[in-house]
Amino acid sequence: MNLILLTEHDLITDEQVQLDDRRFQHIRMVHKPEVGAHLKVGMLNGLLGTGQVLALSDTAVTLQVSFHKTPPPPLPLTLLLALPRPKMLKRILQTVAAMGVKELYLINSYRVDKSYWGSPVLEKQIMEQLLLGLEQAGDSIMPQVHLRKRFKPFVEDELPHLVEGTRALIAHPYHAVPCPPAETTQTTLAIGPEGGFIPYEVEKLNEAGFKSIHIGERILRVENAVPALLSRLFPV
Amino acid sequence: MNLILLTEHDLITDEQVQLDDRRFQHIRMVHKPEVGAHLKVGMLNGLLGTGQVLALSDTAVTLQVSFHKTPPPPLPLTLLLALPRPKMLKRILQTVAAMGVKELYLINSYRVDKSYWGSPVLEKQIMEQLLLGLEQAGDSIMPQVHLRKRFKPFVEDELPHLVEGTRALIAHPYHAVPCPPAETTQTTLAIGPEGGFIPYEVEKLNEAGFKSIHIGERILRVENAVPALLSRLFPV
């Protein structure tokens, strides 16, 4: 937790917050600040700033907060990701949030096991995992996550509007060109499930304007492909 | 398992192998091949090729194998990684192997918990985790892993020889320049523990010729920093 993320509900006055939950435990056990110390804080979907420790007890911490810094710039990206299995989904949500993705579509694909759509992670933990990623990276802007359980209507009806005017790419190592150089260009990137998109799905994405790219001969797991691709597609 | 990795011990004749272990289970449960089907195989530390299914029973599979393809090129990299906590170490070993790293030094650092050096993963599972990464990526060349429990003698006595003639970089976001562009240059990359190298360690690495680089404002976990950095430092 490199950043303590706050919401309006934490405010006890205009400039003070009191925390007694997970964030308090983390501050007490990991940061172990003296009274007077400064911690990095951020207002969820707002500015970053500092929180000075006013009081620290066994049950709560009180911070004097001020906000003055804009969060890191978002990636100019809409990411389409075939829904991963629940355990991997948790990590990927953290990764996506940590790396600055702000628009994530979790989509269906032939190789997505139907049971994944019933996972408790999807129902209850999306926000929690994204928060962990933001806290790690030092960002305050919550990504938007959209669930699309039906591939065909999504690709035919919604996707053409999403990709308009963007660099549209599928990470798909067959009949693919090497990943293009880093650019600050609005991009739509589709990443398939373990085992990849099936030919029909690739064809539909190609029809919607997506170009197949690869990042080498090696086949990476989705959890590695995501940081590898995002790192390569956008400049520092 | 995108590649079935074999060793000389699996050979029952010059061109046939019989498998009855984890690899057999994977072939039976995931590939579910007919007799006559072709699977991708590789000889550990040798060539890639194909294995044609000659027989498949409830207890074993017999393959007719031939080897004709060189494995993907290795990254021109020596990676120094502060020893991660055991659970993360398993994933990182897979990642490192999958991405084509062939020389890995697991090193000590002030922020590496001493208990990590006693982890059973280090004693018994390094090879196993690396194999999983190779099988995933479709590579046959086992990385070399070196353990260095003492930071100072390693950095002072051994590191100068390792970095000679290489591009030497620390992923350390303070007083850092942006990550240099992708190049097929022999590189030595040092990545610190969660929380980063301490100033003394950065200083020692600087003295050994390492330059601090960053890949943006966001602070990434080691498991994301590794693929993000490797992807950025080397061309496809």
**Pick among A219, A223, A234 to test the B interface (most B CBs inside 10 A):** A219
Report whether pLDDT(B173) > 90: no
pLDDT band at B91 (very low <50, low <70, confident <90, very high): very high
* Cα-Cα-Cα-Cα dihedral sign, residues B62, B65, B69, B73: positive
B102 and B217 share a domain? yes
Q: What is the CATH number of the domain that holds A55?
A: 2.40.240.20
Can you list the alpha helix ranges (DSSP code H) found in chain B? 22-26, 86-99, 120, 126-137, 151-153, 159-163, 199-207, 222-233
Interval A116-140: pLDDT, tens:
999 999 988 999 999 999 999 999 9
Q: B230 CB near a chain A CB, below 8 Å? A: yes
Of B112, B89, B97, nearest to B227 by C-alpha is B97
What pLDDT does A123 receive? 85
What pLDDT does A236 receive? 86
- Nearest CB to B236 within list A100, A139, A216: A216
For chain A, the straight-line distance linking the first and the last C-alpha, in angstroms and rounded, comes to 22
What pLDDT does A173 receive? 82
Inspect the interface and report whether the beta carbons of A99 and B230 lie closer than 8 Å: no
Q: B29 CB near a chain A CB, below 8 Å? A: no
A59 and A95 share a domain? no
In one-letter notation, the amino acid at residue A6 is L
Mean local confidence (pLDDT), B150-161: 97
Report whether pLDDT(A175) > 90: no
Averaged confidence pLDDT in chain A: 96
A160 and A211 share a domain? yes
In one-letter notation, the amino acid at residue A93 is L
Of B97, B6, B78, B2, nearest to B44 by C-alpha is B6
What residues of chain A lie within 8 A of the CB of B136, using their CB?
Answer: 219-221
Ramachandran angles phi, psi of B92, nearest 5°: -65, -40
Last residue of a domain, one of B42, B69, B96: B69
Inspect the interface and report whether the beta carbons of B220 and A139 lie closer than 8 Å: no
Inspect the interface and report whether the beta carbons of A136 and B214 lie closer than 8 Å: no
Interval A48-84: pLDDT, tens:
999 999 999 999 999 999 999 999 999 999 999 999 9
Instruction: Please state, in angstroms and rounded to a whole number, the distance separating the CA atoms of residues A111 and A98.
Output: 26
B99 and B151 share a domain? yes
A83 and A122 share a domain? yes
Q: Looking at CA atoms only, how far is residue A74 from chain B in angstroms?
A: 10
Cβ-contact B3, B140 below 8 angstroms: yes
Q: Three-state SS for B86?
A: helix
Of A83, A90, A77, nearest to A192 by C-alpha is A83
Give the Å distances, CA to CA, from B74 to A186, B3, B186.
32, 17, 11
Instruction: Please state, in angstroms and rounded to a whole number, the distance separating the CA atoms of residues A228 and B7.
Output: 31
Q: Minimal Cα distance from A231: which residue of B?
A: B228
A128 and A49 share a domain? no
Last residue of a domain, one of B44, B69, B94: B69
**Pick among B40, B94, B96, B219 to test the A interface (most A CBs inside 10 A):** B219
Inspect the interface and report whether the beta carbons of A136 and B220 lie closer than 8 Å: yes
Please name the helix (run of DSSP H) or strand (run of DSSP E) that holds residue B18, with its range, or none: strand B16-19
Cβ-contact B185, B216 below 8 angstroms: no
A157 and A55 share a domain? no
Which ipTM was obtained for this model? 0.94
Cβ-contact B5, B45 below 8 angstroms: no
What residues of chain B lie within 8 A of the CB of A180, using their CB?
Answer: none
Range of A125's domain?
77-233
B84 and B32 share a domain? no
- Nearest CB to A219 within list B2, B218, B219: B2
Ramachandran angles phi, psi of A4, nearest 5°: -90, 115
Last residue of a domain, one of A15, A46, A69: A69
B13 and B46 share a domain? yes
Of B233, B92, B117, nearest to B170 by C-alpha is B233
Residues 6+ apart with CB under 8 A from B188: B77, B78, B80, B162, B163, B166, B167, B168, B169, B210
What residues of chain A lie within 8 A of the CB of B218, using their CB?
Answer: 72, 98-100, 137-139
B209: left (phi over 0), alpha (psi -120 to 50) or beta: left
Averaged confidence pLDDT in chain B: 96
What residues of chain B lie within 8 A of the CB of A228, using their CB?
Answer: 99, 227-228, 230-231
Instruction: Please state, in angstroms and rounded to a whole number, the distance separating the CA atoms of residues B151 and A228.
Output: 29
Report whether pLDDT(B220) > 90: yes
**Pick among A218, A220, A234 to test the B interface (most B CBs inside 10 A):** A218
Q: Looking at CA atoms only, how far is residue B94 from chain A in angstroms?
A: 10
What pLDDT does B70 receive? 98
Inspect the interface and report whether the beta carbons of A216 and B228 lie closer than 8 Å: no
B173 and B189 share a domain? yes
B62 and B93 share a domain? no
Inspect the interface and report whether the beta carbons of A224 and B139 lie closer than 8 Å: no
Q: What is the CATH number of the domain that holds A120?
A: 3.40.1280.10
DSSP chain A: --SEEE-GGGEEETTEEEE-SHHHHHIIIII-PPTT-EEEEEETTS-EEEEEEEEE-SS-EEEEEEEEEPPPPPPSEEEEEEPPPHHHHHHHHHHHHHHT--EEEEE--TTS-GGGGG-HIIIIIHHHHHHHHHHHHT---PPEEEEE--HHHIIIIIHHHHHTTSEEEEE--SS-EEPPPP----EEEEE--TT---HHHHHHHHHTT-EEEESSSSPPPHHHHHHHHHHHHS--
Give the Å distances, CA to CA, from B72 to A217, A219, B97, B98.
6, 11, 12, 11
What residues of chain A lie within 8 A of the CB of B178, using their CB?
Answer: 236
Inspect the interface and report whether the beta carbons of A136 and B228 lie closer than 8 Å: no
Inspect the interface and report whether the beta carbons of B218 and A99 lie closer than 8 Å: yes
Q: How far is CA A37 from its chain centroid?
A: 30
pLDDT band at B116 (very low <50, low <70, confident <90, very high): very high
pLDDT band at A23 (very low <50, low <70, confident <90, very high): very high
Inspect the interface and report whether the beta carbons of B72 and A228 lie closer than 8 Å: no
B82 and B62 share a domain? no
| Total domain count, chain B | 2
Size of interface A-B (CB pairs under 8 A): 87
Q: Three-state SS for B22?
A: helix
* Cα-Cα-Cα-Cα dihedral sign, residues B129, B133, B134, B136: positive
Residue identified by tokens 């080897």 is B67
Q: A47-84 as b/e, with b when 16 or more CB fall inside 10 Å?
A: ebbbbbbeebeeeebbbbbebeeebbeebbbbbbbbbb
Instruction: Please state, in angstroms and rounded to a whole number, the distance separating the CA atoms of residues B227 and B236.
Output: 13
Instruction: Please state, in angstroms and rounded to a whole number, the distance separating the CA atoms of residues A21 and A25.
Output: 6
Q: A135 CB near a chain B CB, below 8 Å? A: no
What pLDDT does B123 receive? 85
